[in-house]
């Protein structure tokens, strides 16, 4: 199964990006084969609706789960519609959180963890 | 002739200048485009009366016809539509009402419904009609109301627009397609900082413009040196006059309380007329 991690870089050792909609990359990991791929989040700088756009990008990668720091309400709704499991509170490197996830140490959440525009660094558009 | 009164910084005196300028020239009308907080009407006794609602088209999706191809979602610049696998999500608060999704849909699954975002009201006085708009609470996007307001110009030969503050879409909408734009500032570091932002924007738009320094006497002369350096006409200086503030606090425009200011605004108008020619 494929699982995505919001990432600041393109490597397995890159740090987890705590923002969902405005993360730099999605690290896509195939938990069966160990395959790794980094997909750029084109919506990172969107004026609005970065969360839903990122959810759509993610849905097209075939990922069945996503690990991030926090997820806003619109992204949560879109990810839920796409049937993608959401895990928040991810921190450390991509490799580390995937290991934790595979050991079953990270549990999916059932509601969004932050309000709209939380990833905008105080500039609330 | 259409003149917009704008400023980067809030609270510099846009409304004061727009109202007093409009009152000082004959055959003028005043349109307050600050739909998030209109306040020109506080200088007039008559209450504002509702003229009409303003609405934007909002898409409705027929999911029996939709093939979830995602073309509407790809088209939407504001990410208001998400198509994930066989589900479609619409985030109404992100929709700007452009209607593009309906046009782009290859199977005609999208129709439109009007969604009311605010109102237009009329007031003022016999010599000076005033129009303003009000964006409903919770609505994120006031530009469609500003567009409607701007379309009301023409009832009188001279239209003065009172712009929302700042340099974002609502201010840009008010500053474009007019003959002249007055940028109001105060002679302080904050005033100068935000004036520079406005100048960058108005130069991009291409509207001829000049600067009015309000509350002249506070602060320093850096706004003046900046205007000189940039070849920006300094149209007028309004002194930091306690009498203006006292009249303001009673809702009386300065030109009605102090006749010499009426003369000043008429001179300002003639100066602008000269610059527009």
User: B interface toward A at CB cutoff 8 Å?
Assistant: 70, 73, 77-80, 82-85, 87, 89, 91, 94
The answer to whether A50 contacts B73, with C-beta atoms less than 8 Å apart, is no
Q: Enter the DSSP assignment of B124.
A: E
Q: What is the pLDDT of residues A73-83, one digit of tens each?
A: 999 999 999 99
Task: Look up the pTM and report it.
Answer: 0.78
* Distance from the A123 Cα atom to the nearest Cα atom in chain B, whole angstroms: 13
Among B89, B92, B94, B168, the strongest candidate for a mutation testing the A interface, having the largest count of A CBs within 10 A, is B89
The Cα-based distances of A55 to B130, B167, B247 in angstroms read 46, 31, 56
Residue B7 has pLDDT above 80, yes or no: yes
Q: Are strands B28-32 and B49-61 parallel, antiparallel or unpaired?
A: unpaired
Q: What Å distances lie between residue B117 and B53, B120, B136, B146, B166, CA to CA? A: 8, 11, 6, 12, 21
Question: What does the pLDDT look like over B228-267, one tens digit per residue?
Answer: 999 999 999 999 999 999 999 999 999 999 999 999 999 9
ipTM, two decimals: 0.75
Rg (Cα) of chain A, in Å, rounded?
13
Instruction: Report chain A's mean pLDDT, rounded to a whole number.
Output: 88
Closest Cα of chain A to B77: distance in Å? 9
Residue A122 pLDDT class (50, 70, 90 cuts):
low
- pLDDT average, residue stretch A49-70: 92
Q: Which residue of B has its CA nearest to A52?
A: B82
CB-CB: which of A47, A48, A59 is closest to B84?
A59
Q: What percent of chain B has pLDDT over 90?
A: 92
B87: chain A residues, CB-CB within 8 Å: 81-82
* Subunit contact B94:A82, Cβ cutoff 8 A: no
Q: Mean of the pLDDT values across residues B175-200?
A: 97
Please, is B104 exposed, middle or buried when counting C-beta atoms within 10 Å of its C-beta (0-12, 13-18, 19+)?
middle
pLDDT at position A64 is 93
The pLDDT value given to residue B277 = 82
Helix (H) or strand (E) segment spanning residue A57 = helix A50-61
The CA-based angle B249-B252-B255, given to 5 degrees, is: 125
Q: Of A108, A106, A105, give the one whose Cα is nearest residue A85.
A: A108
* Nearest-CA distance A89 → chain B (Å): 24
């Amino acid at each position: 199964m494929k699982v995505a991690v919001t990432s600041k870089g393109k490597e397995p050792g890159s740090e987890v990006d705590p923002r969902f909609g405005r993360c730099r990359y999605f690290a896509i990991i195939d938990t069966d084969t160990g395959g790794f791929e980094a997909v750029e989040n084109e919506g990172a700088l969107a004026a609005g609706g970065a969360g839903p756009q990122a959810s759509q990008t993610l849905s097209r990668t075939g990922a069945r789960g996503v690990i991030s720091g926090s997820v806003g309400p619109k992204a949560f709704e879109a990810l839920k519609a796409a049937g993608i499991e959401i895990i928040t509170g991810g921190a450390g490197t991509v490799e580390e959180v995937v290991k934790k996830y595979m050991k079953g140490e990270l549990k999916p959440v059932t509601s969004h963890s932050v309000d709209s525009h939380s990833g905008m660094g105080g500039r609330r558009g | 002739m259409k003149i917009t009164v704008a400023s980067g910084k809030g609270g510099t005196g846009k409304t004061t200048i727009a109202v007093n300028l409009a009152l000082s020239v004959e055959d003028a009308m005043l349109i307050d485009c600050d739909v998030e907080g209109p306040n020109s009407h506080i200088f007039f006794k008559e209450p504002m009366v509702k003229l009409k609602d303003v609405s934007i088209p909002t898409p409705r999706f027929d999911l029996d016809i939709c093939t979830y191809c995602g073309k509407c979602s790809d088209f939407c610049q504001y990410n208001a539509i998400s198509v994930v696998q066989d589900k479609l999500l619409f985030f109404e608060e992100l929709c700007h009402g452009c209607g593009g999704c309906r046009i782009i849909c290859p199977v005609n699954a999208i129709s439109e419904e009007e969604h009311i975002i605010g109102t237009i009201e009329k007031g003022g006085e016999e010599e000076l009609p005033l129009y303003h708009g009000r964006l409903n609470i919770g609505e994120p996007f006031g530009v469609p109301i500003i567009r409607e307001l701007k379309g009301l110009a023409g009832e009188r030969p001279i239209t003065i627009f009172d712009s929302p503050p700042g340099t974002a879409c609502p201010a840009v909408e008010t500053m474009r397609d007019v003959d002249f734009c007055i940028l109001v500032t105060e002679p302080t570091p904050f005033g100068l900082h935000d004036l520079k932002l406005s100048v960058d924007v108005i130069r991009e738009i291409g509207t001829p413009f000049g600067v009015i320094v309000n509350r002249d006497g506070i602060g320093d002369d850096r706004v003046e040196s900046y205007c000189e350096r940039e070849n920006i006409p300094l149209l007028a200086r309004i002194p930091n006059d306690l009498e203006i503030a006292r009249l303001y606090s009673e809702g009386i425009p300065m030109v009605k309380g102090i006749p010499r200011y009426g003369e000043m605004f008429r001179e300002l108008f003639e100066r602008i007329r000269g610059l527009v020619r």
